[in-house]
Structure 1
Amino acid sequence: MIVAGIGSRRGVSAEDVLAALDAALERAALARGDIDLMATPAVKGGEAGISEAAAKLGLPLVLVPQTRMEAASSRTRTRSERVVALLHVPSAAETAALAAAGAQASLLGPRLALGPVTCALARREEAA
């Protein structure tokens, strides 16, 4: 399972979100069809651009509660002081992806920032 974690500034468009997602996918040598779901911090639930991007891709959007974000924060690779001040976690995209993918998930790389959006990809290996 692969989860795309999304972080953003207020008012992002679906196009902004999709551009960041596509850039992260390209870096990881993956395609849109490889993504199982999108995740974002619960406080971003009102961001129409994030919701619209998930809907355009036909993906479920998981709004990750703060407690789950904090529980996943020790597994992140990057740190944004702005995000720490706002959300009390090192990276919105990375922690959302990790939290939604589960305790055994790992990042495919550091978050990618493109304009007002960050995207991180996390993978959870399915049990055989």
Structure 2
Amino acid sequence: MIVAGIGCRKGVDTAGILAAVDAALGNHDLDRSSLSALATTAFKRDEPAIFAAARELGLEVIVVEGVGVDENTLTHSDISRAAAGSPSVSESAALAAAGKDAHLLGPRLITGAVTCALAVSGGPA
């Protein structure tokens, strides 16, 4: 299972979400067919572009409740921590949605107003 965790600025458009997902996948020589789901935090549950992007990709959005400090994130943003209580919304959401033994394929990627991180279920790579 590969989950794309999404963080974004308020009001981002669907094209921005898709561009970030495609860029993150491309960094790992993956394509859209590799994805199992998109994930975000409850803090972003009202961003329509995340759900529109998921519909375009034919995926569900997993909204993760209570994502906070996660020692497995690779990125630590003070802005993210202040706004959402997480050092990286995209990384934390991807890890939580992919399951207990998930790991990140790499640090989040920033594309415009969107961050995207990919997590894979299972143990360390």
TM-score by length of 2: 0.95
Q: Which residue of 2 aligns with 1:94?
A: 91
Matched, 1:104 2:104: no
Percentage of identical aligned residues: 48
Q: Which residue of 2 aligns with 1:114?
A: 111
Superposed displacement of residue 43, structure 1: 1.7
C-alpha distance in structure 1 between counterparts of 2:116 and 2:50, whole Å:
11
CA contact (8 A) 2:103 2:122 kept: no
4+ runs deviating over 6 angstroms: none
C-alpha distance in structure 2 between counterparts of 1:18 and 1:27, whole Å:
14
Q: How many residues align?
A: 123
Letter in 2 for 1:95: S
Unaligned residue ranges in structure 2 (runs of 5+): none
Q: Which residue, out of 66, 76, 79, partners 2:76?
A: 79
Letter in 2 for 1:57: L
C-alpha distance in structure 2 between counterparts of 1:125 and 1:64, whole Å:
18
C-alpha distance in structure 1 between counterparts of 2:41 and 2:12, whole Å:
15
Alignment of 1:1-128 (within 5 A): 1-66=1-66, 69-70=67-68, 73-125=70-122
C-alpha distance in structure 2 between counterparts of 1:6 and 1:74, whole Å:
18
Superposed displacement of residue 48, structure 1: 0.7
Letter in 2 for 1:78: T
C-alpha distance in structure 2 between counterparts of 1:75 and 1:125, whole Å:
14
Letter in 1 for 2:47: E
Q: Which has the higher helix share?
A: 1
C-alpha distance in structure 2 between counterparts of 1:116 and 1:97, whole Å:
18
